[in-house]
Amino acid sequence: MKYVDEYRDQFAAGTLAEEIRHRITRPWTIMEVCGGQTHAIVRFGLDELLPEQLTLVHGPGCPVCVTPVGLIDQAVALALLPRVIFCSFGDMLRVPGSRENLFAVKTAGGDVRIVYSPLDALKLAQAHPDREVVCFAVGFETTAPAYAMAVTQAKRLGLTNFSLLAAHVLVPPAMEAILSAPGNRVQGFLAAGHVCTVMGYEEYEELAARYRVPIVVTGFEPVDVLEGVTMLVRQLEEGRANVENQYVRSVRRQGNEEARTIIEEVFEPSNRAWRGIGEIAASGLRLKPAYAAYDAAIKFRRELGAGVGEARENPECQSGLVLQGLLKPTECPAFGVRCTPEQPLGAPMVSSEGACAAYYRYRRQPSHAGVEKDEQREV
């Protein structure tokens, strides 16, 4: 596929890995923020091409993984209501709640639909005026404009049976939480290319300056990731802490202005709990008061108040440490034994971007650097 295959070229990857080996003179620890990058690294064995002095730690950039258990419980409570058609991306269905997950609700006859786009949910609302369509709005800044567009389109169409269970999270506050945590060891970031496609990278310039940490906005194919690492190592070795853009074919400094405008029209920042990490100030998005009619948390306040018990995490799941880059998935005693994609203890084992899922899928057998571990590719 054009603009994909070129960035999987083995020679380009080898050349960049050689460049990194040539440049590096001492140990560095860097974090790839996005779970999509984690999957590219594990799937293509990119970490095995890198010199030993370079430690890659996996970041919290998997929105499915960081959605707090309390919100999963709310989703389950809404999906159990007979008049509700509950729409979600497929990743969310097996994520454990305190008592059950959306997949169990669906299996028991609940009307849970897997959608590819928020516009699919909008079409369901048009087709079923007698039902309430609730969409689980999970994602980072990349996904927020799609939901904002769906809400403004629902308003334009006069649909009153469409609402969002808003669960969006924002990347820069999480990066700041990592940088300001005691014992932080991250010295540079590969920032998430598609988040920055939407938001641009001006807000990262402030982070880089305040924490003296280099940040390289990076794409998702193997050559992108290796070029991002090369640029980061070059900055670290030269003592620079700037924001640079590897993913120039998609990211502009100011981002996508249409997308930013529609996000600001519909959403506003709110405090948000991150699963396994805790609450981070102004790290989520909620619907603005002008769009309260599309907010499922307000629309179904009574049902949610009665139907959701106390949120409980599985105490054996160590996803909080995995999401902060403090534990490798394979270091968890439950990994692959009591925690598998079919029977997960926590979200990182089921999300298509979860670090535990990446290691389970690609690293259960001895790997060979550069050999793609699995031919399947989601589109």
Partner 1 sequence: MCLAVPGQVVKIDEDQLRTATVSFGGITKDVSLALVPEAVVGDYVIVHVGFAISKLDEEAARRSLELFEAMRAAQAGPDGQGDGKSRMAPS
Residues numbered 19 to 58 that lie near partner 1 (CB under 8 A) are 19, 21, 34-36, 44-45, 49
* Dist CA 309 CA 117 (whole Å): 30
* 356: enclosing H helix or E strand: helix 355-362
Q: Does 249 bind partner 1 (CB under 8 A)?
A: yes
**Which of 273, 277, 260, 272 shows the shortest CA–CA distance to 202?**
260
The footprint of partner 1 on residues 278-297 (CB under 8 A) is: none
Please report how close the Cβ of residue 291 comes to partner 1 at its closest, in angstroms: 18
**189 near partner 1 (CB under 8 A):** no
For the bound state, the minimum distance from the C-beta of residue 131 to partner 1, rounded and expressed in Å, comes to: 21
Of 4-12, 72-80, 299-307, 309-317: span binding partner 1 (CB under 8 A): 4-12
Supply the DSSP string of 117-170, one letter for each residue: SHHHHHHHHHH-TTSEEEEEEEE-TTTHHHHHHHHHHHHHHT--SEEEEEEEE-
Please provide residue 62's backbone torsions phi and psi, each rounded to the nearest 5 degrees: -135, 100
Q: How far apart are CA 126 and CA 131, in angstroms?
A: 10
165, β-bridge pairs? 136
- Closer to partner 1 at the Cβ: 17 or 304? 17
Min. distance of Cβ 198 from partner 1 in angstroms?
A: 6
Closest CA to 221 of 2, 1, 7: 7
Quote the CA–CA distance of 88 and 103 in Å, as a whole number.
Answer: 11
Q: Does 319 bind partner 1 (CB under 8 A)?
A: no
Q: At what angle do helices 144-157 and 118-127 cross, to 10 degrees?
A: 20
Query: Which span sits near partner 1 by CB under 8 A: 80-88, 115-123, 173-181, 209-217?
Result: 115-123
- In the complex with partner 1, the residue whose CB is nearer, 119 or 282, is 119
Which residues between 122 and 151 bind partner 1 (CB under 8 A)? 138-140, 142-143, 145-146, 149
Site for partner 1 in 251-270 (CB under 8 A): 251-252, 256, 258-259, 262
Residue 95: closest CA among 338, 350, 277, 336: 350
Q: Which of 173, 222, 329, 348 binds partner 1 (CB under 8 A)?
A: 222
Of 96 and 139, which has the nearer Cβ to partner 1?
Answer: 139
- Of the candidate residues 62, 233, 317, 339, the single one contacting partner 1 (CB under 8 A): 62
Residue whose CB is less far from partner 1, 77 or 196: 196
Stretch that binds partner 1, among 102-110, 298-306, 323-331, 368-376 (CB under 8 A): 368-376
Stretch that binds partner 1, among 16-24, 102-110, 181-189, 333-341 (CB under 8 A): 16-24
Strand partners, 269: 285
> Applying CB under 8 A, does 96 fall inside the site for partner 1?
no
Question: Binding residue for partner 1 (CB under 8 A) from 53, 117, 242, 340?
Answer: 117
Count Cβ atoms below 10 Å from residue 61 Cβ, excluding itself: 27
Beginning with the edge strand found earlier in the chain, give each strand of the sheet holding 132-139 in spatial order.
112-114, 84-88, 132-139, 162-169, 278-287, 267-274
